[in-house]
Structure 1
Amino acid sequence: MSEKSYTVGRLAADTGIKAVTIRYYEKIGLLPKASRSESGYRLYSEADYSRLLFIRRSRGLGFSLDDIRELLSLADRQQDSCAGVDAKVEQQLEQVRSRLKDLRAMEQELERLSACCDGGAIMDCRIVETLSGEAAHNRRAKCS
């Protein structure tokens, strides 16, 4: 029984990754060069399908393409320790936590600004004044 093969269109449909992105991943070496049919169409294997799902899930977790390249390299060495993968995931987790902290601070600042709005015309908008730094130059108190 022969292994299932995918055209780039079928692979795109089945993985949810655009064909142009699949060709890009092939170009930069995240995906091995596809074999070609007699008519010249790219043909991808089940292993390519699995690799693309790995890439898509990794991207969904915020890993960079360089990180994914490293993770794929580690995953290709089946008998090695998974310590390298664990370390990469921990590093990504720390980055996510840092971004969440920044996002929470942004959320609080936006809530503070939103509470400043009394309605009315833009020329009297305390949010615009605060964002532009004009509140410090005007008589009205800065939105706080």
Structure 2
Amino acid sequence: MNIGDAAKAAGVSAKMIRHYEQTGLLPEAERSEAGYRKYGEREVSVLRFIRQSRRLGFSMPQIAELIGQWGDTHRTSRQVKAIAERHLADLEEKLREIVEMKSALEQLVSVCAGDDHAHCSILENLAADSPSAPNHSASFVKPKRRGAKASTAHSGVAEKQTTSHLDLMTWMRGVHVHRGAH
């Protein structure tokens, strides 16, 4: 079967099949005389195995290790279980982190008035450890195109160079900060 047929049969995209071949997770396909990839049931089985493993959140190196175990007739189930247990421990740690993030965010949201005033306790809490407090009169202007230089003035106000954490983060996103003189 061709790559499209194999993708359909395995429930993955043709792009992912190429990616799996490039990373070595799937052996490079045989080619027809016309240069088209040819796949058989074995490759489709491996693709389904990869798809199922990805659904469970296994990383590509873990999947490679599992495929190696799958093809090893001398493996023990203990070896495979150890891989799954390590992954389970990683998932449990990620879950703990997500629960902590959710709890912290719930606290921030609960103390925010969420009204028409400029004061925002969420922003204050997020900026709590910043080296300098942001100037609330800052206006954020995106350049017309990526990499474009910002004008030296915005509404007649000269741009000041700063070294605050906010300015660095803003600059990294391609947004330029123009501060008003107060």
Aligned pair partner of 2:52 in 52, 57, 75: 57
- TM-score, normalised via structure 1 length: 0.82
What's the secondary structure of 2:35's corresponding residue?
coil
What's the secondary structure of 1:106's corresponding residue?
helix
Deviation at 1:122, TM superposition (A): 5.5
What is the aligned residue count?
A: 131
Aligned pair partner of 2:13 in 12, 18, 28: 18
What are the Cα deviations for residues 31-78 of structure 1, in whole angstroms up to 9, with x where unaligned? 122112232210111010010111111112121111111111111013
Counterparts of 1:27-66 in structure 2, within 5 Å, are 27-66=22-61
CA contact (8 A) 1:7 1:44 kept: yes
Counterparts of 1:124-143 in structure 2, within 5 Å, are 124-133=119-128
Q: Specify the alignment match of 2:3 in structure 1.
A: 8
| Higher helix residue share | 1
| Structure 1 counterpart of 2:58, one-letter code | F
Flag the structure with larger Rg: 2
CA RMSD of aligned residues (A): 1.9
What's the secondary structure of 2:112's corresponding residue?
coil
Q: Which deviates more from structure 2 when the two are superposed, residues 125-134 or residues 66-75?
A: 125-134
Q: Specify the alignment match of 2:95 in structure 1.
A: 100
| Higher strand residue share | 2
Structure 1, unmatched stretches of 5+, are 1-5, 139-144
CA contact (8 A) 1:7 1:43 kept: yes
Q: Specify the alignment match of 1:89 in structure 2.
A: 84
Counterparts of 1:130 and 1:69 in 2: how far apart (Å)? 43
| Structure 1 counterpart of 2:92, one-letter code | R
Deviation at 1:79, TM superposition (A): 4.1
- TM-score, normalised via structure 2 length: 0.66
Counterparts of 2:99 and 2:88 in 1: how far apart (Å)? 16
Q: Specify the alignment match of 1:115 in structure 2.
A: 110
| Structure 1 counterpart of 2:12, one-letter code | I
CA contact (8 A) 1:122 1:128 kept: no
Counterparts of 2:33 and 2:107 in 1: how far apart (Å)? 64
CA contact (8 A) 1:35 1:44 kept: yes
| Structure 2 counterpart of 1:87, one-letter code | A
